[in-house]
């Protein structure tokens, strides 16, 4: 068969037939700024409108003098409505929706690779299926950009031959969640067909997997977690005539047991200020903040379950989802801080002609140093440089602090891309072309935008029912049971209570329990030895020695750190094979940044694995696991549950330790072993060190 070869002219015409207008530079910059702010870090140097140091400095130094308009805080009443429920792995469903599920997980292992269909949910609207893949060797995967591994989507085959194709999908490490069209209510079987394992190269991993699935009505005991429908009440308070609505809206709160997931959206159209010129926009300048009643930051992450997201309720709305723990002091306040960007006179422009010559070379520079006035604002074109294979970079500066950006084009040439950014008052704008323009070029400066006022949007939420023990973490409390007089003081014997059923024990950490007299003066108070005291402890009892007898009562005993043991250990499966880990010494010190891809189910405290470092200490090798977690979590020591090859070893030594690293803000958990590490490596943490504030008082009884 002779393959048709289109003429270049025909293809070019087709391209032009499908062409669409160029984007508004203001939008390009605004979205870039929004994304920069969304990353939770200051805008990067390449960010154009929000110059990084500018953003940080102004955010910190000028905070008090900014014109901040606060809508609200919009108090929101929480109203539990039983209209919706949340099913992990599926998302939010109507409570009365007919729901079927996979009868049981189905697994198949071939050549050491295991494919498991873990769960499936069937509703009249869609079918959602989750499958996992384990044991894929690194050697079977594609590692080069130009070498394509398997990318075929899994299909569902129904008994009558109907083929359900993938409509959407997400993956997280080795777990794939796939959406399909709904399966008819009278069909209770299907075959999951996986043509090949994602990313594997042909012939290096088993292909054509077929797993038979059976579906059944969802059991009455199916865990459907409550979804709290949040309705604004009263109507958003408005303290500026510029806005009619609060663009920051909290719509639903999902109670996942351990955490809350706050679901809402930002509606940019409601952030528009009609008093500003058309085309003005508001964008985030700082990371989104969630704070408690005391104004302290509440740690948040994205939801552990990617299915927990809302579609936009209206055109242009930007949905968000924040997962938080339950130990905050309500009300909770979500804050978006940003400012307006205002287009200056759109007709204002300036031109500069320069001769790039017939063969401009990368790195070649033309010094300009010429001031141009646009709409009454002065911008200096410092220089022009030929960059990359086909582009130019324009260096600009302005001492006018209101100048945000200026658009740069070369008349008669359509750029294919570009970007810009730089420190305050000094920035660059890059333009890429299919072919570098040559000869005399007319550089046009236009579309000047200016910084407008800062504005903050807030929304508040208070849980309808207080959480167990809230705001005390795990509902822990202290009590003094008894005392023993000594010559120079007292033994104090006490115990710890807790209301959170996930906790097996809780004890004040070593020096984490302190004593204060009635005047707030700290007393000498140290852990004591039960044997020395001739006493036998009851479970969860603690013994401290108070030195001195002349103090004003009542005493306040205050713990700021606790060791807690969990009834269900926190489990984590680490498999770095698909990240290229081979266990060789050459990889010691290597860091795998997972960026939160492994969520950790620490009771009540959001946490996820941020990075893993391969380390060696003495004869032992292992990992330092960097955990991004709620500030209350101070330590989460992992032990190795499985994943060691101990063949030929008489004894195996392992080591685990954990602490919070102040410089990185991460909880570091070190696991080491002298055995050979294999994957998947299963780690468990049975206890944790947590910070908090727990108090009790004690009066010396009268004798």
Partner 1 sequence: MDETILVSSAQRDPAQFAALYDRYFRPIYHYLYNRAGSRADAEDLTAQTFLAALEALPGYRHRGHFAAWLFTIARNKARDFNRNGVSQAPLDENHPDGSEDLLSQAVRNDQIKQLANLFKKSTEDEQELMRLRYVADLSFVEIGVCLGRKEDTVKKTFYRLLARLQDQLGVSHD
Residues of this chain, 438-467, that bind partner 1 according to CB under 8 A: none
Binding residue for partner 1 (CB under 8 A) from 60, 64, 96, 146?
Answer: 146
Q: Write 157-165 long-range contacts (CB < 8 A, 24+).
A: 157/190, 157/191, 157/193, 158/183, 158/184, 158/187, 158/189, 158/190, 159/187, 159/189, 159/190, 160/187, 164/127, 164/190
CB of 41 to partner 1, least distance (A): 4
Rounded to whole angstroms, how far apart are CA atoms 447 and 128? 47
Q: Name the residue among 156, 181, 149, 151 with its Cα closest to residue 168.
A: 181
Q: State which residue, 306 or 527, has the beta carbon closest to partner 1.
A: 306
Q: State which residue, 277 or 312, has the beta carbon closest to partner 1.
A: 312
Rounded to whole angstroms, how far apart are CA atoms 199 and 659? 37
Q: State which residue, 39 or 642, has the beta carbon closest to partner 1.
A: 39
Q: State which residue, 318 or 355, has the beta carbon closest to partner 1.
A: 318
Residues of this chain, 243-282, that bind partner 1 according to CB under 8 A: 268
CB of 156 to partner 1, least distance (A): 13
CB of 376 to partner 1, least distance (A): 28
Choose the stretch contacting partner 1; rule: CB under 8 A; options: 137-145, 218-226, 547-555, 691-699: 137-145
Residues of this chain, 316-335, that bind partner 1 according to CB under 8 A: 316, 318
Rounded to whole angstroms, how far apart are CA atoms 661 and 682? 24
- For residue 595, state whether it binds partner 1 (rule: CB under 8 A): yes
Does residue 676 come out as left (phi exceeding 0), alpha (psi in the -120 to 50 range) or beta? beta
Instruction: Sketch the per residue contact string, 376 through 415, with partner 1: x for CB under 8 A, - otherwise.
Output: ------------------------------------x-x-
Locate 425 and state its tokens: 């008052």
Rounded to whole angstroms, how far apart are CA atoms 393 and 396? 10
Residues of this chain, 18-47, that bind partner 1 according to CB under 8 A: 18-24, 27-28, 31-32, 34-36, 38-44, 46-47
CB of 318 to partner 1, least distance (A): 6
Residues of this chain, 473-532, that bind partner 1 according to CB under 8 A: none
Choose the stretch contacting partner 1; rule: CB under 8 A; options: 169-177, 181-189, 527-535, 547-555: 169-177
Q: State which residue, 104 or 582, has the beta carbon closest to partner 1.
A: 582
Contact between 518 and 554 (Cβ < 8 Å): yes
- For residue 63, state whether it binds partner 1 (rule: CB under 8 A): no
Choose the stretch contacting partner 1; rule: CB under 8 A; options: 214-222, 305-313, 544-552, 662-670: 305-313
Q: State which residue, 58 or 506, has the beta carbon closest to partner 1.
A: 58
CB of 267 to partner 1, least distance (A): 11
Q: State which residue, 81 or 416, has the beta carbon closest to partner 1.
A: 416
CB of 419 to partner 1, least distance (A): 4
Binding residue for partner 1 (CB under 8 A) from 109, 111, 162, 171?
Answer: 171
Q: State which residue, 198 or 493, has the beta carbon closest to partner 1.
A: 198
Residues of this chain, 177-236, that bind partner 1 according to CB under 8 A: 198-199
Contact between 251 and 264 (Cβ < 8 Å): yes
Instruction: Sketch the per residue contact string, 630 through 669, with partner 1: x for CB under 8 A, - otherwise.
Output: ----------------------------------------
Binding residue for partner 1 (CB under 8 A) from 79, 104, 170, 657?
Answer: 170
β-strand pairing of 440-461 with 70-74: parallel
Question: CB count, 10 Å around CB of 552?
Answer: 10
Q: State which residue, 604 or 626, has the beta carbon closest to partner 1.
A: 626
Q: State which residue, 105 or 169, has the beta carbon closest to partner 1.
A: 169
Give me the residue label for tokens 């809302």.
Answer: 310
- For residue 10, state whether it binds partner 1 (rule: CB under 8 A): yes
CB of 285 to partner 1, least distance (A): 14
CB of 546 to partner 1, least distance (A): 49
Give every CB contact of residue 295 below 8 A, 6+ residues apart in sequence: none
DSSP result, 392-418: EEEEEE-S-TTEEEEEEEETT----EE
- Partner residues linked to 405 by β-bridges: 449
Q: State which residue, 125 or 526, has the beta carbon closest to partner 1.
A: 125
Residues of this chain, 599-628, that bind partner 1 according to CB under 8 A: 611
Contact between 116 and 130 (Cβ < 8 Å): no
CB of 280 to partner 1, least distance (A): 14
H or E element at residue 657: strand 654-661
- For residue 165, state whether it binds partner 1 (rule: CB under 8 A): yes
List phi, psi (to 5°) of 293: -60, -25
Question: What is the separation, in whole angstroms, between the first and last Cα of the chain?
Answer: 108
Q: State which residue, 25 or 635, has the beta carbon closest to partner 1.
A: 25
Q: State which residue, 55 or 206, has the beta carbon closest to partner 1.
A: 55
Give me the residue label for tokens 């012939």.
Answer: 203
Q: For 302-363, where are the E strands, in sequence order?
A: 318-324, 332-343, 350-355
Rounded to whole angstroms, how far apart are CA atoms 479 and 533? 19
Q: For 466-574, where are the E strands, in sequence order?
A: 477-486, 489-497, 503-508, 513-516, 522-527, 541-547, 555-574
Locate 580 and state its tokens: 């290229």
Q: Name the residue among 448, 543, 461, 567 with its Cα closest to residue 495.
A: 543
Q: What is the dihedral of CA 265, 269, 275, 280, to 10 degrees?
A: 100
Q: State which residue, 423 or 595, has the beta carbon closest to partner 1.
A: 595
β-strand pairing of 555-574 with 513-516: antiparallel
Give me the residue label for tokens 């939801």.
Answer: 303
Rounded CA Rg of the chain: 31
Choose the stretch contacting partner 1; rule: CB under 8 A; options: 97-105, 213-221, 310-318, 476-484: 310-318
Rounded to whole angstroms, how far apart are CA atoms 96 and 98? 6
CB-side exposure of 548: number of CA atoms within 13 Å? 14
Task: Compute the residue count for the chain.
Answer: 703
CB of 167 to partner 1, least distance (A): 8
Binding residue for partner 1 (CB under 8 A) from 70, 101, 158, 173?
Answer: 173
Choose the stretch contacting partner 1; rule: CB under 8 A; options: 2-10, 441-449, 659-667, 685-693: 2-10
Residues of this chain, 87-116, that bind partner 1 according to CB under 8 A: none
Q: State which residue, 470 or 608, has the beta carbon closest to partner 1.
A: 608
Size of the site for partner 1 (CB under 8 A): 80
- For residue 240, state whether it binds partner 1 (rule: CB under 8 A): no
Q: Name the residue among 439, 473, 485 with its Cα closest to residue 559.
A: 473
- For residue 6, state whether it binds partner 1 (rule: CB under 8 A): yes
CB of 390 to partner 1, least distance (A): 14
Choose the stretch contacting partner 1; rule: CB under 8 A; options: 150-158, 223-231, 555-563, 616-624: 150-158
CB of 488 to partner 1, least distance (A): 56
Give every CB contact of residue 540 below 8 A, 6+ residues apart in sequence: 495, 496, 497, 505, 506, 507
DSSP result, 105-144: -EEEEETTEEEEEEEEEE-SS-EEEEEEEE---GGGB--S
Binding residue for partner 1 (CB under 8 A) from 78, 141, 271, 334?
Answer: 141
């Amino acid at each position: 068969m002779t393959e048709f070869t289109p003429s270049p002219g025909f293809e070019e015409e087709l391209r032009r037939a499908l062409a669409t207008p160029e984007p508004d530079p203001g939008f390009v910059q605004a979205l870039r700024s929004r994304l920069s702010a969304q990353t939770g870090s200051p805008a990067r140097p390449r960010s154009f409108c929000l110059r990084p140091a500018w953003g940080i400095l102004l955010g910190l130094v000028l905070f008090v003098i900014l014109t901040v308009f606060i809508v609200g805080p919009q108090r929101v009443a929480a109203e539990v409505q039983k209209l919706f429920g949340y099913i992990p792995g599926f998302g939010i469903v109507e409570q009365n929706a007919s729901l079927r599920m996979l009868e049981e997980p189905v697994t198949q292992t071939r050549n050491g690779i295991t494919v498991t269909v873990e769960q499936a949910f069937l509703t009249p609207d869609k079918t959602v299926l989750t499958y996992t893949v384990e044991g894929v060797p690194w050697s079977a995967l594609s590692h080069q950009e130009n070498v394509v591994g398997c990318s075929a989507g899994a299909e569902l085959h129904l008994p009558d031959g109907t083929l359900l194709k993938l409509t959407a999908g997400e993956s997280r490490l080795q777990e794939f969640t796939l959406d399909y069209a709904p399966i008819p209510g009278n069909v209770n079987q299907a075959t999951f067909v996986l043509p090949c394992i994602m990313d594997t190269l042909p012939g290096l991993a088993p292909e054509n997997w077929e797993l038979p699935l059976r579906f059944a009505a969802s059991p009455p005991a199916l865990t459907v977690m409550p979804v709290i429908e949040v309705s604004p009440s009263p109507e958003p308070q408005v303290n500026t005539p510029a806005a009619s609505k609060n663009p920051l809206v909290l719509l639903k709160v999902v109670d996942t047991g351990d955490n809350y997931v706050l679901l809402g959206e930002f509606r940019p159209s409601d952030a528009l200020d009609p008093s500003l010129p058309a085309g003005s926009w508001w964008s985030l300048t700082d990371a989104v903040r969630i704070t408690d009643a005391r104004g302290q930051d509440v740690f948040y992450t994205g939801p552990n379950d990617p299915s927990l997201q809302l579609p936009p309720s209206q055109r242009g709305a930007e949905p968000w989802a924040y997962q938080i723990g339950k130990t905050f002091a309500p009300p909770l306040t979500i804050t978006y801080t940003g400012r307006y960007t205002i287009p200056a006179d759109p007709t204002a422009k300036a031109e500069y002609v320069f001769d790039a010559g017939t063969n401009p070379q990368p790195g070649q520079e033309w010094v300009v140093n010429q001031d141009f006035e646009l709409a009454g604002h002065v911008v200096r074109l410092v220089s022009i440089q030929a960059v990359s294979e086909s582009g130019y970079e324009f260096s600009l500066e302005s001492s006018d602090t209101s100048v945000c950006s200026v658009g740069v084009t070369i008349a008669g040439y359509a750029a294919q891309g570009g970007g810009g950014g730089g420190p305050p008052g000094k920035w660059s704008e890059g333009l890429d072309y299919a072919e570098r323009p040559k000869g005399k070029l007319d550089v046009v400066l236009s579309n000047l935008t200016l910084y407008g006022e800062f504005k903050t949007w807030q929304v508040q939420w208070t849980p309808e029912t207080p959480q167990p023990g809230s705001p005390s973490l795990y509902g822990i409390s202290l009590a003094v049971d008894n005392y023993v007089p000594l010559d120079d003081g007292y033994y104090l014997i006490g115990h710890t209570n807790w209301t959170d059923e996930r906790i097996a024990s809780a004890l004040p950490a070593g020096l984490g329990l302190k004593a204060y007299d009635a005047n707030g003066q700290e007393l000498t108070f140290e852990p004591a030895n039960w044997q020395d005291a001739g006493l036998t402890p009851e479970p969860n009892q603690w013994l401290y020695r108070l030195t001195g007898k002349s103090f004003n009562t009542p005493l306040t005993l205050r713990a700021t750190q606790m060791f807690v043991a969990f009834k269900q250990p926190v489990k984590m499966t680490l498999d770095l094979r698909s990240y290229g880990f081979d266990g060789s010494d050459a990889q010691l010190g290597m860091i795998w940044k997972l960026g939160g891809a492994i969520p950790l189910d620490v009771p009540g405290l959001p946490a996820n694995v941020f990075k893993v470092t391969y380390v060696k200490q003495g004869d032992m090798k292992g990992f330092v696991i960097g955990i991004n977690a709620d500030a209350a979590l101070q330590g989460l020591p992992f032990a190795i549950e499985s994943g060691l090859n101990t063949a030929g070893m008489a004894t195996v030594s392992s080591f685990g330790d954990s602490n919070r690293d102040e410089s990185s803000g991460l909880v570091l958990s070190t696991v080491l072993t002298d055995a050979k590490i294999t994957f998947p490596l299963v780690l468990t943490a049975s206890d944790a060190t947590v910070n908090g504030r727990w108090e009790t008082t004690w009066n010396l009884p009268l004798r």
